[in-house]
């Protein structure tokens, strides 16, 4: 059974909106645009980017119908505006559009941290605009960057976290949740704080560990022996440094707390290796393997159950 939130099927007004504006039609923004089209949006999609070449590629790939480098001009026409630029630019983008949005324009985003979006929005947007803001975090990505790699497929069966504000309009929240659901994502609602703590654990710490593993190899050597295991264990170190350093800034507090949690885990592990506690180590490895295998099994079957539902 599919729960379409509180909405009857086939009537989500978002898919009938005339103009959707994607600020930053890159890998993720472009994929959302393609997902909207695939899910039935027939209106116009305008992309806003700083460089014309990004817009040209986004048009070529079919993410957007038209492109402009003029944010304000695009914002004036928007019925829904999706922020998909690096996190650090959100404050500036919101400041630029606040005086130009149509009343009732829906605002959402794909930012990887959510407390920072809330702070930016409270500072930059008008109180009546906050009603139509529904921050979101579609959790999907790949090693590639830019609209050339965009695909609706990339979002399928992946989690999308939605973090409504206290003052968010319930109808708009339902519409946005339904939008992500129809794009094919697994919608989960939580508070911005929960989102940030959890994503520090399952996304920002993994990235940092991948980077620090590379740094350790840079310091200590051994690359002539590196193979597929090392390649996989450092994959996230090749993700966009600008986006990633923005996240480290925007989610600083939660990340530091999670690093402290990791340091405790590391100290225990090191102690067991130092003491040659074979049974303790074997128990730890078995427990971690079982926990991961159980999760992977659930995760890999999400796609199949999704298909049955649809």
**CB count in 10 Å sphere of residue 168:** 18
Compute the least distance from the CB of residue 220 to a second copy, in Å: 5
The angle at the Cα of 254, spanning 253 to 255, to the nearest 5 degrees, equals 90
| Closer to a second copy by Cβ: residue 3 or 256 | 256
Query: Considering only CA atoms, which of 160, 43, 28 is closest in space to residue 86?
Result: 28
- Read off the tokens for 94: 């919101």
Q: Which residue has the tokens 């973090």?
A: 163
The greatest distance separating any two alpha carbons of the chain, rounded to the nearest whole angstrom, comes to 66
Query: Considering only CA atoms, which of 4, 150, 18 is closest in space to residue 76?
Result: 18
| Closer to a second copy by Cβ: residue 98 or 259 | 259
Helix-strand-coil split of the chain, %, nearest 5: 60, 10, 30
Compute the least distance from the CB of residue 295 to a second copy, in Å: 6
**CB-based burial of residue 167 (10 Å sphere; 0-12 exposed, 13-18 middle, 19+ buried)?**
exposed
| Closer to a second copy by Cβ: residue 1 or 220 | 220
Compute the least distance from the CB of residue 271 to a second copy, in Å: 10
CA distance linking residue 205 with residue 219, whole number of Å: 21
| Closer to a second copy by Cβ: residue 66 or 253 | 253
| Closer to a second copy by Cβ: residue 103 or 229 | 229
Question: What CA–CA distances, in Å, run from 102 to 64, 79, 197, 304?
Answer: 21, 7, 34, 40
- Read off the tokens for 59: 């048009």
Compute the least distance from the CB of residue 304 to a second copy, in Å: 16
| Closer to a second copy by Cβ: residue 3 or 296 | 296
Compute the least distance from the CB of residue 146 to a second copy, in Å: 16
Compute the least distance from the CB of residue 166 to a second copy, in Å: 22
| Closer to a second copy by Cβ: residue 68 or 239 | 239
Q: Which residue has the tokens 């990235």?
A: 207
Compute the least distance from the CB of residue 256 to a second copy, in Å: 6
CA distance linking residue 189 with residue 137, whole number of Å: 10
Compute the least distance from the CB of residue 211 to a second copy, in Å: 5
| Closer to a second copy by Cβ: residue 81 or 162 | 162
Question: What CA–CA distances, in Å, run from 127 to 98, 122, 193?
Answer: 10, 8, 21
């Amino acid at each position: 059974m599919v729960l379409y939130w509180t909405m009857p099927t086939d009537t989500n007004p978002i898919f009938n909106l005339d103009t959707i504006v994607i600020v930053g039609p890159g890998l993720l923004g472009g994929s959302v645009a393609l997902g909207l089209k695939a899910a039935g949006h027939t209106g116009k999609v305008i992309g806003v980017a700083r460089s014309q070449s990004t817009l040209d590629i986004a048009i070529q790939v079919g993410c957007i119908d038209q492109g402009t480098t003029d944010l304000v001009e695009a914002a004036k026409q928007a019925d829904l505006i999706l922020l998909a630029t690096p996190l650090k630019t959100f404050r500036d983008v919101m400041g630029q559009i606040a005086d130009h949005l149509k009343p009732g324009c829906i605002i959402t985003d794909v930012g990887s941290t959510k407390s920072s979006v809330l702070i930016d929005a409270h500072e930059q947007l008008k109180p009546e605009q906050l009603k139509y803001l529904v921050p979101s975090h579609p959790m999907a990505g790949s090693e590639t960057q830019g609209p050339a790699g965009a695909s609706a497929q990339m979002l399928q069966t992946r989690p999308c976290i939605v973090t409504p504000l206290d003052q968010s309009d319930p109808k708009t929240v339902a519409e946005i949740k339904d939008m992500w659901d129809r794009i094919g994502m697994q919608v989960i609602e939580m508070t911005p704080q929960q989102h940030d703590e959890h994503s520090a654990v399952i996304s920002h710490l993994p990235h940092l560990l991948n980077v620090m593993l590379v740094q350790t190899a840079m310091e200590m050597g051994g690359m002539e022996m590196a193979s597929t295991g090392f390649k996989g264990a450092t994959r996230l170190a090749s993700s966009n440094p600008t986006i990633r350093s923005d996240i480290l800034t925007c989610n600083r507090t939660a990340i530091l707390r999670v690093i402290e949690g990791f340091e405790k885990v590391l100290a225990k592990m090191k102690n067991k290796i130092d003491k040659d506690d074979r049974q303790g180590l074997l128990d730890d490895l078995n427990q971690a393997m079982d926990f991961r295998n159980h999760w992977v099994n659930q995760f890999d079957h999400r796609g199949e159950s999704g298909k049955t539902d649809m």
